[in-house]
Amino acid sequence: MFKALMVIQWKWTKWAAMLATLVGFAIPIASVQVVASGRYSYAQEAGYVVGVMQQFAVSYALLAAAVGLAFAVAAWSNDHKGRHIYALSLPVSRSTYAAMRFSAGAIFLLVPTLGVLAGCVIASIIAPIPAGLHAYPIALTLRFLLASGVAFAIFFAIAASTPKTIRSARARQQFPLQRARAALRVHGAVDACRCLA
């Protein structure tokens, strides 16, 4: 069943995954191109190189958030359209179904991560790195994977909720407050009766 879910979910996320892979591959290459075309000769000043890399660091975070959002929404969009009838007809519990969806999406996060890794490795090979600086392509890739995983988990939890779930959560939040008000009314009336007696 997990294999079938992965095949279906791949159909929904393959274009987003391929686009994210291309963008993830292009970001490190573009940052190296900016460094190489710098105003300093051969871009040998370490401060300039670090400044350019810091400017491009925002694009990794934005890409990780976009990947997490796209994959999470794609995981649940067809279920929301079908009002979760397919999920309810399966011989597994909703929590198991959600765990399989989450696992499939988490596995697909590896595709853009491999694009970032390939771009980082190539960029570190072709980049003119000044003395005293080092390239860390694997560390950057792991950070990207972690950021996209966190974004995916957050957006997955939001996308998995249905309007009915949201309404029942609101009702659960209001129920203790209503109980407390009713208890105050009852206890207040009891205290008032004692005072009169």
pLDDT for the residue numbered 66: 93
Does residue 160 or residue 78 have the better pLDDT? Answer: 160
Percent of the chain with pLDDT over 70: 71
pLDDT at 39: 58
Q: Are residues 108 and 59 in the same domain?
A: yes
Of 27 and 159, the one with more pLDDT? 27
Q: Is there a single domain that holds both residue 23 and residue 67? A: yes
- Region 25-51: what's the mean pLDDT? 74
What distance in Å separates the CA atoms of residue 78 and residue 76, rounded to the nearest whole number?
Answer: 6
- Within this chain, do residues 8 and 27 fall inside the same structural domain, yes or no? yes
> Is the domain of 168 the same as that of 153?
no
pLDDT of 192: 44
Do 156 and 168 share a domain, yes or no?
A: no
Q: Which domain holds residue 173?
A: 163-197
Q: For the chain, how many structural domains are there in total?
A: 2
Is residue 80 located within the same domain as residue 169?
A: no
* Whether residues 48 and 73 fall in one domain: yes
> For the segment 150-191, what is each residue's pLDDT rounded down to a tens digit?
999 998 888 877 666 555 555 555 555 565 565 556 555 545
One domain for residues 152 and 167: no
Q: Tell me: do 143 and 181 sit in the same domain.
A: no
Query: DSSP assignment of 133-187, as one string?
Result: ----HHHHHHHHHHHHHHHHHHHHHHHH--HHHHHHHHHHHHHHHHHHHHHHHHH
Same domain (yes/no): 187, 168? yes
The answer, as to whether pTM is greater than 0.85, is no
* Residue 195: per-residue pLDDT: 46
Q: What is the mean pLDDT of the chain?
A: 77
Tokens of 125: 């090979």
Burial (CB count within 10 angstroms: exposed 0-12, middle 13-18, buried 19+), residue 59: middle
